[in-house]
Chains A and B, each alone.
Chain A
Amino acid sequence: MAEWRLLLKTLFARRVVLIALVLLALMLLMAAISQWVLPHDPMAMKVSQRLRAPNWNHWSGTDELGRDITSRIFYGARYSLAIGAGTALLAAFFGTLLGLLAGFFKHLDAPLMRCVDAMMAFPDILLGIALVSILGASPTNVVLALTIVYTPRVARVVRASTLVIRELPYVEAARAVGVSTPRLLSVHILPNLMSPILVQLSFIFAYALLAEAGLSFLGVGVGAEIPTWGTMVAASTQYADRAFWTLFFPGMAIVLTALSLQILGDGVRDLLDPRLKGMQ
């Protein structure tokens, strides 16, 4: 029990981390309960109410088709968060696998990194367009496309860190003891890679949200009927000059989520550092 309390104390050593966690929790809550608790029907179009400024009825105003922006943000949360989280987790998983193997096994380094280079050669939007046009517009395909785009970043960072850690004295000492290679990778190298991986996770989440917005803007995102934050931002560009709320509120949702995730990521990274565990 004391261990958990110490964990929490370290995590929230900086108040900002607590705020970030609360914000993220709120977002998740929004996504979860959006089906039942919404001020308005997010899909209901009321053309007479289009582009209304924020008022008591519509807290964030209405968009170009008279739909309540607040409800759409709440409803879209689940899609946006899912796309962001899905991409980040998948990219982290594959990137770590590739980077770890490339960094540790000299003979695998060149072939694996050439694959990674090939993946990096495609500009993300182009790759997204290509994949989505082949596979069709849906959240799953967007996640797939963006995973391919972002895996190389993680792979390169993990490979670089692995190269460094591999030469550190304690890894050499473990080899001298006779520790098997799988154990060497999982117990001695991987935990010490956590820091850069976590940082990448939070970055990719934010990038994925924005990339989805870009893809949606070009019409190859999730499909116009699904109200992700990205599609809302994309659609708002036409009206932003006269109705700033159409851009502002969905944009803020993206910014706050990405920022909270990064701060939380920093907090968790500090948490995992045994050096800070004992510090009161």
Chain B
Amino acid sequence: MTTPMVRIQDLSVEFGRGAQRVRAVRGVSFDIAPGEVLGLVGESGSGKSTLGRALIQLIQASGGSVQFEGQELMGLSQAQMRPLRRQVQMVFQDPSLNPRQRAGAMLAEVLSTHGLHTGAARAPRIAELLHIVGLKPEHASRFSHEFSGGQKQRLGIARALAAEPRFIVADEPLSALDMSIQAQIVNLLIGLRQQLGLTLLFISHDLDVVQYLCDRVVVLYLGRVMEIAPTADLFDAPAHPYTQALLSAAPIPDPTQAAPQVHLLGDPPSPLNPPSGCVFRTRCPHAIAACAEQVPELTPTGAGRWVACLRHTEWT
């Protein structure tokens, strides 16, 4: 049992005050093993983006602990966090480029911030970074508006790689891209992972890509973890009612396969006023009275699977 690279325990992130208090992330715990690609899925309001940002301390978490290679990240000052930022980087949804900064200057800035490849070694390193992500050296002198969507995302990945990190959080990196470009970026990420031995937290709402790319998946709903499982197990035999509903609602691009099923009625509850007990109970087809009284614990069900449901034993 190798020590996890990232360990999150009971993480909570809250915004606002009083009546406007939103608990975006509540009591989330999971590990990420070195070299693994962990998928974080959820719909809007699930808190997945917030979780990603809180993990790398871009926003302030309100409770819990985040450990990177055994070191506690919560409560570190900006100055203490800075050297760690070399190890932990983020790829954003498009666009995340300063419109007034040229591509090369942006990469140089990352190198300067961490004191890497100074002096004469800098220009070749920038060219190398561009090459790794499939761009050309002449792209260094261009501004962000001169790039297409796919190229901008490649640049975003280059920026994340410039610091030579071990762990990257990718927050919906494909959502703003066309299908053919998404496939290019997915293949790029796979190649980079193999080449550089990266560990990835892949945040997405696109189940197909997650299934293709990730080793394990964490399913979030309204800020809480519903299920954790290895990818194949999750998609073949989902244990949590929410996962089951989510998978059956996702349309399969093959007219000979089953059409998307509607198992969930109504809209997700507002994060300002989440349901008591299990947050999913208001839309769950299997909800019982007990579901309103206690928050289901994330229980291990063997072979790396965890489910947060009072009735899960009835169908696993």
Are A274 and B143 in contact (CB-based, < 8 A)?
Answer: yes
- Measured in the bound complex, the distance between the Cα atoms of B79 and A181 in whole Å is 10
Q: A275 and B96 in contact (CB under 8 A), knowing A176-B85, A177-B113, A179-B109?
A: no
How many interface contacts (CB-CB < 8 Å) are there between A and B?
69
Interface of A is mostly: helix
Q: A173 and B163 in contact (CB under 8 A), knowing A178-B113, A188-B98, A192-B99?
A: no
**Chain A residue nearest to B95 in the complex (CB):** A169
Q: A170 and B98 in contact (CB under 8 A), knowing A176-B58, A179-B109?
A: yes
List which A227-280 residues lie within 8 A (CB) of chain B: 274-275, 277-278
Are A176 and B89 in contact (CB-based, < 8 A)?
Answer: yes
- Measured in the bound complex, the distance between the Cα atoms of B156 and A179 in whole Å is 15
Are B99 and A274 in contact (CB-based, < 8 A)?
Answer: yes
Are A275 and B99 in contact (CB-based, < 8 A)?
Answer: yes
**Chain B residue nearest to A190 in the complex (CB):** B100
Are B146 and A177 in contact (CB-based, < 8 A)?
Answer: no
Q: Is A180 an interface residue (CB 8 A)?
A: yes
Chain A proximity of B11: nearest CB distance (Å): 18
Chain A residues within 8 Å of B82, by CB: 178, 180
List which A139-184 residues lie within 8 A (CB) of chain B: 169-181, 183
Chain B residues within 8 Å of A274, by CB: 99-100, 143, 145
Are B146 and A169 in contact (CB-based, < 8 A)?
Answer: no
- Measured in the bound complex, the distance between the Cα atoms of B100 and A275 in whole Å is 9
- Measured in the bound complex, the distance between the Cα atoms of B98 and A172 in whole Å is 10
Give the residue of A170, A176, A275, A277 whose beta carbon is less than 8 angstroms from that of B56: A176
List which A94-136 residues lie within 8 A (CB) of chain B: none
Q: A175 and B113 in contact (CB under 8 A), knowing A274-B100, A278-B146?
A: no
Q: A169 and B92 in contact (CB under 8 A), knowing A178-B85, A188-B98, A192-B99?
A: yes
Are B113 and A170 in contact (CB-based, < 8 A)?
Answer: no
Are B109 and A177 in contact (CB-based, < 8 A)?
Answer: yes
Chain A residues within 8 Å of B113, by CB: 177-180, 183
Q: Is A187 an interface residue (CB 8 A)?
A: yes
Give the residue of B86, B95, B146 whose beta carbon is less than 8 angstroms from that of A178: B86
Are A177 and B85 in contact (CB-based, < 8 A)?
Answer: yes
Q: A172 and B143 in contact (CB under 8 A), knowing A177-B110, A192-B99?
A: no
Q: Is B93 an interface residue (CB 8 A)?
A: yes
- Measured in the bound complex, the distance between the Cα atoms of B106 and A171 in whole Å is 12
**Chain A residue nearest to B82 in the complex (CB):** A178
Give the residue of B89, B99, B101, B143 whose beta carbon is less than 8 angstroms from that of A177: B89
- Measured in the bound complex, the distance between the Cα atoms of B57 and A177 in whole Å is 12
Chain A residues within 8 Å of B53, by CB: 172
Q: Is A191 an interface residue (CB 8 A)?
A: yes
**Chain B residue nearest to A278 in the complex (CB):** B146
List which A29-84 residues lie within 8 A (CB) of chain B: none
Are A187 and B58 in contact (CB-based, < 8 A)?
Answer: no
- Measured in the bound complex, the distance between the Cα atoms of B157 and A177 in whole Å is 12
Give the residue of A171, A178, A183 whose beta carbon is less than 8 angstroms from that of B163: A178
Chain B residues within 8 Å of A170, by CB: 95-99
Q: Is B114 an interface residue (CB 8 A)?
A: yes
Bitwise interface map of B from 57 to 95 toward A, beta carbon under 8 Å scored 1, else 0: 010000000000000000000100110011001101101
Which of B81, B98, B145: most chain A Cβ within 10 A? B98
Chain B proximity of A132: nearest CB distance (Å): 41
- Measured in the bound complex, the distance between the Cα atoms of B95 and A192 in whole Å is 16
Q: Is B240 an interface residue (CB 8 A)?
A: no
Chain B residues within 8 Å of A177, by CB: 85, 89, 109-110, 113, 159, 162-163
Chain A residues within 8 Å of B85, by CB: 176-178
Are A187 and B99 in contact (CB-based, < 8 A)?
Answer: no
Chain A residues within 8 Å of B99, by CB: 170, 192, 274-275
- Measured in the bound complex, the distance between the Cα atoms of B92 and A187 in whole Å is 20
List which B27-67 residues lie within 8 A (CB) of chain A: 53, 56, 58
Chain A residues within 8 Å of B56, by CB: 176
Which of A169, A171, A192: most chain B Cβ within 10 A? A169
Are A172 and B96 in contact (CB-based, < 8 A)?
Answer: yes
Bitwise interface map of A from 197 to 218 toward B, beta carbon under 8 Å scored 1, else 0: 0000000000000000000000
**Chain A residue nearest to B89 in the complex (CB):** A176
Chain B residues within 8 Å of A179, by CB: 109, 113
Chain A residues within 8 Å of B86, by CB: 178
Are B143 and A173 in contact (CB-based, < 8 A)?
Answer: no
Are A173 and B159 in contact (CB-based, < 8 A)?
Answer: yes
Chain A residues within 8 Å of B90, by CB: 173, 176
Give the residue of A178, A188, A275 whose beta carbon is less than 8 angstroms from that of B145: A275
- Measured in the bound complex, the distance between the Cα atoms of B92 and A274 in whole Å is 22
- Measured in the bound complex, the distance between the Cα atoms of B86 and A188 in whole Å is 20
List 20 A–B pairs whose Cβ atoms lie within 8 Å, in order of A's numbering.
A173-B90, A174-B98, A176-B85, A176-B89, A176-B90, A176-B92, A177-B110, A178-B81, A178-B114, A178-B163, A179-B109, A180-B113, A187-B98, A188-B101, A191-B100, A192-B99, A274-B99, A275-B99, A277-B143, A278-B146
B-side residues, CB < 8 A to A, are 53, 56, 58, 78, 81-82, 85-86, 89-90, 92-93, 95-101, 109-110, 113-114, 143, 145-146, 156, 159, 162-163
